[in-house]
Amino acid sequence: MKKDLGLVQAVYPMPVLMVAAYDENEKINVMNVAWGQICDMDKIILFIGEGKRTWLNIKASGAFTVALADKDHMDAADFFGIASGNKIDDKFERTGYHAVRSDKVHAPIIEEFPVVMECELLEFLHTDFVDGIVGRIVNVKAEEAVLDEKGKVDPVKLNALMFDQFRNDYYLTGEKAGKAWNAGMELMKKQ
């Protein structure tokens, strides 16, 4: 029997996304965003409220990067979520992390995170119920250490963090449960 839990953000798992952008002076800010996802073959949506430092930077620069946080960098990833760029001027610098300029968009790539999407701003969404940033993914870069023999990202090697909204914990991805577009094929054969 199911028990009522009340209002809970019950989508699990949520990705731990590191969103980075330059401000008008080329200063870097990075934000931990759990509320984001792919919304088309080449598009991503990030649910970031207006006025956040990263939101302002994306508006100023017209571009951003989205990196997948991993186990080895959980401390900085968490810090990027609890520290506000509007209140801590040296937020990125405090981590000791390194950034290089993307060669595809006007945005920084944080070198420590192993997979990054380079994105150009398409639009800001603002309704009575949701604020979002939609970007076009123009390229993905990945460290060779997280690639399999076919050159694809290997979730086991990646050790990506997932956010658990039930208890505010981080978990790891990696265990394969089945093959997508195959696990349900027997049900397709039923008449």
Nearest CA-CA partner of 90 in 48, 18, 25, 29: 29
pLDDT value for 68: 97
Flag whether 4 is in a domain: no
Flag whether 53 is in a domain: yes
Flag whether 169 is in a domain: yes
Which tens digit of pLDDT belongs to each residue from 114-168? 999 999 999 999 999 999 999 999 999 999 999 999 999 999 999 999 999 899 9
0.85 exceeded by pTM: yes
| Domain boundaries, position 97 | 14-188
The total number of structural domains in the chain stands at 1
The residue-averaged pLDDT of 26-48 equals 95
Q: How far is CA 187 from CA 1, 143, 167, 190, in A?
A: 27, 38, 35, 5
For residue 72, name the pLDDT band (cuts at 50, 70, 90): very high
Flag whether 8 is in a domain: no
Close Cβ partners of 66 (under 8 Å, ≥ 6 residues apart): 17, 18, 19, 33, 36, 44, 46, 116, 117, 119, 135
Greater confidence (121 vs 5) lies with: 121
Flag whether 7 is in a domain: no
Question: Of all residues in the chain, what percent are helix, strand and coil, respectively (each to 5)?
Answer: 20, 35, 45
Flag whether 3 is in a domain: no
Instruction: Indicate the SS3 state at residue 75.
Output: helix
Flag whether 127 is in a domain: yes
pLDDT value for 178: 87
Flag whether 2 is in a domain: no
pLDDT value for 136: 98
pLDDT value for 190: 83
CATH of the domain at 116: 2.30.110.10
